[in-house]
Structure 1
Amino acid sequence: MIDLSLNSLSGTIPISIGGLFQLEEFMISDNNVSGSIPSDLSNATNLLQLQLDTNQISGLIPPELGMLSKLTVFFAWQNQLEGSIPSSLASCSSLQALDLSHNSLTGSIPPGLFQLQNLTKLLMISNDISGTLPPEIGSCSSLVRLRLGNNRIAGTIPKEIGGLGILNFLDLSSNRLSGPVPDEIGSCTELQMIDLSNNILQGPLPFSLSSLTGLQVLDVSANQFTGQIPASFGRLTSLNKLMLSRNSFSGSIPLSLGLSSSLQLLDLSSNGLTGGIPMELGQIETLEIALNLSCNRLTGPIPPQISSLTMLSILDLSHNKLEGHLSPLAELDNLVSLNISYNAFTGYLPDNKLFRQLSPTDLVGNQGLCSSIRDSCFLKDADRTGLPRNENDIRQSRKLKLALALLITLTVAMVIMGAIAIMRARRTIRDDDDSELGDSWPWQFTPFQKLNFSVDQVLRCLVDTNVIGKGCSGVVYRADMDNGEVIAVKKLWPNTMAASNGCNDEKCSVRDSFSTEVKTLGSIRHKNIVRFLGCCWNRNTRLLMYDYMPNGSLGSLLHEKTGNALEWELRYQILLGAAQGLAYLHHDCVPPIVHRDIKANNILVGLEFEPYIADFGLAKLVDDGDVARSSNTVAGSYGYIAPEYGYMMKITEKSDVYSYGVVVLEVLTGKQPIDPTIPDGLHVVDWVRQKRGGIEVLDPSLLSRPASETEEMMQALGIALLCVNSSPDERPNMKDVAAMLKEIKHEREEYAKVDVLLKGSPATDNQENKKSSGVVPATSSSKPVTQSLYPKSKNSSFSVSSLLYSSSSNSKTGFK
């Protein structure tokens, strides 16, 4: 075996490699190797695995490789290969995994490849492949994953595709396929994900799709499908994402969709659907990502049952003909994005936080709707059903308004006179202005949860003896309330407050740590993000209130000597939870939220060692068109800042990914980013790279753990090295990171299954899956745990379940 993966090797592949007749594995992935693939490799007839991916190899794929009859794995993705795919590869009768994605290959797919009876995975994503799908496709009955997205394949989907009985992942997106989807696709009974988006497919969707009971994702968006949405889709109880947007579907929304008990995302936008919104949609309690019914011809009111979708984050009903009042939306407390523009809604707006923060563009085009975002447009529960219904009500309403106006005018005048008197009196007492807590100024209090304590109780706790930490945006106190509740209170540094410096709200919103935290924390809810209780402020002081975390921060658990080292299981759970919280900020918030200060001290730990991401003092909301804007304010903490920030001042989600990778290394090594025990003053990232990711970098307190746990740590180390890649584009996104971490514990069964196919032994992780999960596990050498473990970047071979729930670097934008 020759494994030179994950180095910085350059030059070309030596022709003499072909003279190693007993060579079984040749792996040079993730280097800078150039030149072409030498045809002499075909002389190494015992070759089982040939992994050349992620290099700069160019030229043609030698037809002579077809002589390698024992070859089981051939990876050449992420290179600069061109020309056509040799038909002679069909002679590699033992081939099980072929990945040629992300090259410049042309021509058509050789039909003979589908005659390979052992082939389980065929990936050719993002090439320039043309031609059609051959009818021989149905002969490859062993195929589990077929990904041909982002090419120029034309013609129709052959009916022979029904012969792929164990296929669970079908990706034909972004091609030029036309014609109908064959009914025979219903014979692929193991399908979990179907992506046919961005083609020119026509006709109705086949009813046979409803027989795919294990289907989890169906994306046929951006095609030319017609007819009605099959009512039988309600049988797909495993379906969690259904995307039918940008087609020409007609008729009504099937009532049976309410039976899709696992649905998290439903996108039916930009079609010709008519009728009303079915009340049955309110039965889908799992619908938490998005419901998009925009740009159709829907009529009638919003059914009251929609108020049951309490987990929903995004709701778009714009550009329809809906009418009636908006009271069914009043209880959707989890919404972060709502668009009801261009309908025929009438009445007042529900008086809740979301509607008070809505942009006028999300309400425009409803002539009968009081949508000027004035207080008079918001009515409480009893009055939410609409505008006054008759002339008597109108007259009484006008009289009442006139009386209220007079009363308010008198009140305001008295308040102004009183305020002037108070201000004159205060001019004689200068030291009141110097009080840090500003006791002379009135307090404003905005709770975001139901709270049973007062501002006075909070203020009494703001003493030095209660200080539990300091951050870049403020000092944190422990506060014991009279009712026995314990909370954490952050008092922001005075120099972050610009309210009294004459700048308007728009200019202050970025620099003011207070407005940033309130805007950010008030709009997000996740089990791994610290719960924001409320805020209070006056002229001099601004306070933020959170749940108190009895176990402090991850940094204190790692580096403060308490006698007991943190076990691997707890470290893993903290890392996974933090990754899931960050993934929520990056991928499920609209617009995405970049934290900008991820570090071990900003990951708090609850009573059961559950992690919570905290300290949004530097958080920035990233607009769709401003994903990589520059900032003049230093973001992040020393040792955790991504390298590109130093020379480009760019703020992206990938900056958080880098910082998270440093945290993972900190957890695994037990060393701080800049640690005095690391020789030559190296950063922990450089030190781990220098050690080639060997087992010696692990925290000594973890080395006595069982071999299975050590292997998990080394896999986590590989994921960390992915995250700290010096190139932002080469880092995975946080959803992929969370999925990879989860696979360490929960997807060994898949690894073992594929390894049995490749090696005949269940004890060794499969190479294709190791690339899928982003780490290279130990091979079959005599030291399976101690060898270096390094990650793969920009996967085209990610695992099935991770792709179902994450937005990979190869995914398209939109609801995914």
Structure 2
Amino acid sequence: MAALHRLLLLLLPLVGLLVLHPLPIVASYDARYLLAAKADLSDPAGALSVWEAESSHSLCAWPHVLCAGQSTTVAGLYLGKLSLAGGFPASFCSLRSLQHLDLSQNELVGPLPACLAALPALLNLTLAGNGFSGEVPPVYGGGFRSLVVLNLVQNSISGEFPWFLANISTLQELLLAYNAFTPSPLPEKLGDLADLRELFLANCSLSGEIPSSIGNLGNLVNLDLSMNALSGEIPRSIGNLSSLVQMELYKNQLSGRIPEGLGGLRKLQFLDISMNRLTGEIPEDIFAAPSLESVHIYQNNLTGRLPASLGAAPRLADLRMFGNQIEGPFPPEFGKHCPLGFLDMSDNRMSGPIPATLCASGKLTQLMLLDNQFEGAIPAELGQCRTLTRVRLQNNRLSGSVPPEFWGLPLVQMLELRSNALSGTVDPAIGGAKNLFDLLIQDNRFTGVLPAELGNLSLLRKLLASDNNLSGPVPPSVVELSELSQLDLSNNSLSGEIPREIGQLKQLTVLNLSHNHLAGMIPPEIGEIHRMNSLDLSENELSGEVPVQLQNLVLSAFNLSYNKLNGHLPLFFSATYQQSFLGNPGLCHGICAGNDDPGAIPAARVHLIVSLLAASAVVLLMGLAWFTYKYRSYKKRAAEISADESSWDLTSFHKVEFSEMDIVNSLDENNVIGKGAAGKVYKVVVGPSGEAMAVKKLWSSDVESKKKRNDTFEAEVATLGNVRHKNIVKLFCCVTNSSCRLLVYEYMPNGSLGDLLHSAKAGILDWPTRYKIAVHAAEGLSYLHHDCVPSVVHRDVKSNNILLNAEFGAKVADFGVAKTIENGPATMSVIAGSCGYIAPEYAYTLHVTEKSDVYSFGVVILELVTGKRPMAPEIGEKHLVVWVCDNVDQHGAQSVLDHRLVGQFHDEMCKVLNIGLLCVNTVPSKRPPMRAVVKMLQEVRGENKPKVKKEVAPAL
């Protein structure tokens, strides 16, 4: 007993020390777990370099680590945007006190960690913006005792929608958007998440109807189910979401009427139900919601009139309802009681006057009322709206004079008044519109002289005033518009001479002064405008000779007909533009006898004889060459097509008015318009209407080539035979026999984007045209990826496979290596694609997904923004993606923009550049889906204004 007493006396000091200074046992364990995680991760930026076993800093002083209160246990790991790579570190699951784990915007891959569900204290799990794949572990539905935030946005998660997550009753934020779930209905159980404040399920392949139980989510602040395939009606119970601030249901297949009751949502600020199939009239109470700021209901099938409650909406700033069938006028004094900033009611059937109160708040920036039936005068009050930047009122019934101040709005960039009945003059106040890019006033009744103040518009790129009653001369000051690319003053009563200084307009691509009373000579200086693509001076009183300098122009449209031109016409013009000089009796081809020179006729005869002899020799040589070529072609064709192979079969995919032999007999080598790896392309004119077609004849030679040719043929037919989209090139039919395969497409007169962008004609492609091409091509690819079942991956997206129609609308073409994708990545045996466009993971792994196309399209965007080829001598040994990234990092975005365009388009080009850089991210999961690319591109010009996400702090 005494010995025990002595032992206790010895231990008492030690026990006291332990009480006063407890050993950091848990802390040492947590540090060990963090060090193990560091060892498992790739950390190229050195973000975790301070995490060291021998560190002089305590665990709680390590960067990105938060300890719990005064203890040394890890409560939070904030590791977002650190460029970490690898799989999920399993050791994180041993941090038993962990409450917050943020690994967002890294490069993590592999399956989602199931072990996290066992962490007893975890409140916030954020894994967004990585490459996690596979299904959501079912254990998530049975674990997580206290999870408040689950954020898995923008990964590569697949499988059915994880309805079992509705079992996590503590959830306040469920964020699963932009994942590749298989089409799945929304579970009715979602209504059980009573504490839910944010539901973000955009682009999750959701189908079926929105369950009525969603109305049980009384605490919901943000509801985003956009870009899915939801159908049926919007449930009336949605009017029970009393806490709702933002509702995003756009781009689904919702139908029926908009439910009543939305006006009772007193906190609702942002409503977007656009791009659906909604019908019927707009509910009277929808604008009664007192906090409503933004309403997007465009591109539906709504009818009836605007409700009277619209006129009293106190906070409305953004209203977009274009693309419906809405009738009648605006409510009286609309705009007087709200801070209206953006109004787009285009493409409806509205009538009545434009309200004078639209800009009563002094905040209106964009006014788009095109393609309606508005009538009366433009209100004088709008001339005081100094905030306007974009005005589009075309295709209405507006009349009267335009208010002088309206011409001179100081911030306006686009003023489009065409196709109305407006009259009066273009007021000299136009000189005050210093930011004006586009002045489009054609097809009205404007009179008088164009004011000299037009020369003050230094940023003007389009001046289109055709089909009016303008008189006087072409304003001399127009030659000061150095950025002008299109000048159309046709069908007026202009007189005088064309200013010789017009040759200073080096950006000019279209010049149309036809159907006027212009006199004098054609200025030779026009031939110095090398970007000119279209020149029309017909139906005037121009005299003198045709300037030989016009031979320098490469024109797709050229017309000098019905003037008073005379003199000798060079052979170049007469051979190339035979229909461009009609109605000029003084023009002569070869002999130009002068009345004042008696020796002119003999001299002309000698000149004619010499010319005829020379021409005859050339014709003879060309005839011999043609005969030899045709004979060889005939022999070659005869060798290829034997008697038993001479029958052709035509398989049509659209209605055609020609036969297979019409196509076969039109394959003349003189009509070859292109050659590629798959074959040769001809332009042929067939059918009773003389319609132009493009015919691709696939190459044929050895057995291996024949196999590849058949593979290409099958891929094109399988893809394009079933595709119907305005931005996918149309395959009319295929014509085949046992030895030859022909594919007949619609003809695209402006060829490929690549050929045009990187040729001497690049000047034709101004920035608005390039932007339009980017949007169109993105819409075509989005259709292939998201609307085709199964999805189609193009595998060879490049600028040469984007074709342009007469209006420079873009269509995706050449599906010879396209692949359908049904369940996850497809593994290829060989790489398809073109150098400079191939996604890095495709080159390394031969795994192809839709994200491979996104990368290639990103390269196309960089081409459009920089004007450079993917592989070009001026960027050295780097390919375009590396060159752009390096220069942006070192010198900023300005250093890579096409210097020929940048000017006033700097901001737009920078935004599109950023979208391109998102698309070429080296990590596939970080590339946006094509649907998102389309939306981002549309937002660049405000056609689809980005939604303002309300920041909601998690209630922890």
Asked if TM exceeds 0.5, the reply is yes
Hey, what's the Cα distance between the residues in 2 that align with 1:232 and 1:203? 17
Of structures 1 and 2, the larger Rg is shown by 2
Hey, what's the Cα distance between the residues in 2 that align with 1:359 and 1:325? 20
1:403 equivalenced with 2:625 (yes/no): no
> Closer, same or farther in 2 for the Cα pair 1:206/1:669, shift >3 Å?
farther
Q: Once the two structures are superposed, what CA deviation does each residue of 1:6-59 show, in whole Å capped at 9, x if it has no partner?
A: 133222111111111111122111222222222211222111111111122222
* Contact 1:156-1:179 at 8 Å conserved across structures: yes
Give the unaligned 5+ runs of structure 1.
379-385, 431-471, 476-491, 499-505, 514-518, 534-545, 547-576, 589-597, 604-612, 644-661, 689-700, 710-736, 748-772, 776-784, 806-816
Q: Once the two structures are superposed, what CA deviation does each residue of 1:104-143 show, in whole Å capped at 9, x if it has no partner?
A: 2222223433433332211110111122122332324422
Hey, what's the Cα distance between the residues in 2 that align with 1:43 and 1:299? 68
Q: Once the two structures are superposed, what CA deviation does each residue of 1:271-314 show, in whole Å capped at 9, x if it has no partner?
A: 111111111111101002x1111111112221112111121011
The secondary structure found in structure 2 opposite 1:202 is: strand
1:253 equivalenced with 2:421 (yes/no): no
2:719 aligns to what? none
* Contact 2:911-2:940 at 8 Å conserved across structures: no
Which residue of 53, 59, 62 corresponds with 2:256?
A: 59
The secondary structure found in structure 1 opposite 2:381 is: helix
Amino acid at match of 1:245: Q
The secondary structure found in structure 2 opposite 1:295 is: coil
Hey, what's the Cα distance between the residues in 2 that align with 1:164 and 1:774? 38
The secondary structure found in structure 2 opposite 1:251 is: strand
Hey, what's the Cα distance between the residues in 2 that align with 1:684 and 1:75? 27
2:805 aligns to what? 622
The secondary structure found in structure 1 opposite 2:207 is: coil
Shift, 1:259, TM fit: 1.2
1:715 aligns to what? none
- Number of positions where the alignment pairs a residue of Structure 1 with one of Structure 2: 565
1:231 aligns to what? 428
Correspondence list, 1:12-27, <5 A: 12-27=209-224
1:638 equivalenced with 2:817 (yes/no): yes
Correspondence list, 1:744-759, <5 A: none
1:791 aligns to what? 931
1:45 aligns to what? 242
> Closer, same or farther in 2 for the Cα pair 1:738/1:60, shift >3 Å?
farther
1:149 aligns to what? 346
* Contact 1:740-1:802 at 8 Å conserved across structures: no
* Contact 2:416-2:441 at 8 Å conserved across structures: yes
Correspondence list, 1:74-223, <5 A: 74-223=271-420
* Contact 1:526-1:581 at 8 Å conserved across structures: no
Shift, 1:787, TM fit: 11
Which residue of 758, 761, 765 corresponds with 1:530?
A: 758
Hey, what's the Cα distance between the residues in 2 that align with 1:196 and 1:124? 15
Amino acid at match of 1:791: R
Hey, what's the Cα distance between the residues in 2 that align with 1:599 and 1:621? 18
The secondary structure found in structure 2 opposite 1:18 is: helix
Amino acid at match of 1:184: E
The secondary structure found in structure 2 opposite 1:10 is: strand
Hey, what's the Cα distance between the residues in 2 that align with 1:162 and 1:138? 6
1:319 equivalenced with 2:498 (yes/no): no
Hey, what's the Cα distance between the residues in 1 that align with 2:435 and 2:937? 23
Give the unaligned 5+ runs of structure 2.
1-197, 576-585, 633-673, 684-690, 699-746, 777-792, 823-832, 856-880, 890-904, 920-924, 946-956
Amino acid at match of 1:131: G
Amino acid at match of 1:181: I
Which residue of 484, 497, 512 corresponds with 1:301?
A: 497
The secondary structure found in structure 1 opposite 2:215 is: helix
Hey, what's the Cα distance between the residues in 2 that align with 1:336 and 1:347? 23
Amino acid at match of 2:931: P
Hey, what's the Cα distance between the residues in 1 that align with 2:244 and 2:944? 33
The secondary structure found in structure 1 opposite 2:378 is: coil
1:743 equivalenced with 2:921 (yes/no): no
* Contact 1:139-1:164 at 8 Å conserved across structures: yes
1:285 equivalenced with 2:482 (yes/no): yes
Shift, 1:370, TM fit: 6.1
1:671 equivalenced with 2:842 (yes/no): yes
> Closer, same or farther in 2 for the Cα pair 1:67/1:621, shift >3 Å?
closer
> Closer, same or farther in 2 for the Cα pair 1:311/1:396, shift >3 Å?
farther
Hey, what's the Cα distance between the residues in 1 that align with 2:769 and 2:939? 21
1:814 aligns to what? none
Hey, what's the Cα distance between the residues in 1 that align with 2:385 and 2:437? 19
* Contact 1:216-1:804 at 8 Å conserved across structures: no
The secondary structure found in structure 1 opposite 2:604 is: helix
TM-score (norm 2): 0.50
Q: Counting strand residues as a fraction of each chain, which structure ranks higher?
A: 2
The secondary structure found in structure 1 opposite 2:931 is: coil
Shift, 1:641, TM fit: 11
Q: Once the two structures are superposed, what CA deviation does each residue of 1:754-789 show, in whole Å capped at 9, x if it has no partner?
A: xxxxxxxxxxxxxxxxxxx999xxxxxxxxx98987
The secondary structure found in structure 1 opposite 2:213 is: helix
> Closer, same or farther in 2 for the Cα pair 1:20/1:323, shift >3 Å?
same
> Closer, same or farther in 2 for the Cα pair 1:159/1:18, shift >3 Å?
same
> Closer, same or farther in 2 for the Cα pair 1:203/1:528, shift >3 Å?
same
Amino acid at match of 2:427: P
Shift, 1:102, TM fit: 1.3
Amino acid at match of 1:296: N
The secondary structure found in structure 2 opposite 1:162 is: coil
Q: Which one has more relative contact order, counting CA pairs under 8 Å at least 6 apart?
A: 1
1:760 aligns to what? none
> Closer, same or farther in 2 for the Cα pair 1:122/1:669, shift >3 Å?
farther
The secondary structure found in structure 2 opposite 1:90 is: helix
Hey, what's the Cα distance between the residues in 1 that align with 2:326 and 2:562? 46
Hey, what's the Cα distance between the residues in 1 that align with 2:221 and 2:445? 53
Hey, what's the Cα distance between the residues in 1 that align with 2:836 and 2:612? 63
* Contact 1:207-1:230 at 8 Å conserved across structures: yes
The secondary structure found in structure 1 opposite 2:232 is: coil
Identity of aligned residues (%): 26
> Closer, same or farther in 2 for the Cα pair 1:28/1:741, shift >3 Å?
farther
> Closer, same or farther in 2 for the Cα pair 1:196/1:369, shift >3 Å?
farther
1:766 aligns to what? none
Correspondence list, 1:498-577, <5 A: 529-531=757-759
> Closer, same or farther in 2 for the Cα pair 1:601/1:196, shift >3 Å?
closer
RMSD: 5.5
The secondary structure found in structure 2 opposite 1:117 is: coil
* Contact 2:489-2:514 at 8 Å conserved across structures: yes
1:72 aligns to what? 269
> Closer, same or farther in 2 for the Cα pair 1:686/1:263, shift >3 Å?
closer
Shift, 1:77, TM fit: 0.8
The secondary structure found in structure 1 opposite 2:528 is: coil
Shift, 1:530, TM fit: 2.8
Shift, 1:417, TM fit: 10
Q: Once the two structures are superposed, what CA deviation does each residue of 1:738-769 show, in whole Å capped at 9, x if it has no partner?
A: 9987426779xxxxxxxxxxxxxxxxxxxxxx
Amino acid at match of 2:911: E
Q: Once the two structures are superposed, what CA deviation does each residue of 1:685-732 show, in whole Å capped at 9, x if it has no partner?
A: 5999xxxxxxxxxxxx99xx99x99xxxxxxxxxxxxxxxxxxxxxxx
Shift, 1:246, TM fit: 0.7
* Contact 2:294-2:318 at 8 Å conserved across structures: yes
Amino acid at match of 1:317: L
> Closer, same or farther in 2 for the Cα pair 1:798/1:141, shift >3 Å?
farther
Correspondence list, 1:724-735, <5 A: none
> Closer, same or farther in 2 for the Cα pair 1:8/1:326, shift >3 Å?
same
The secondary structure found in structure 2 opposite 1:315 is: strand
The secondary structure found in structure 2 opposite 1:112 is: helix
> Closer, same or farther in 2 for the Cα pair 1:20/1:663, shift >3 Å?
farther
Correspondence list, 1:258-273, <5 A: 258-273=455-470
> Closer, same or farther in 2 for the Cα pair 1:374/1:65, shift >3 Å?
same
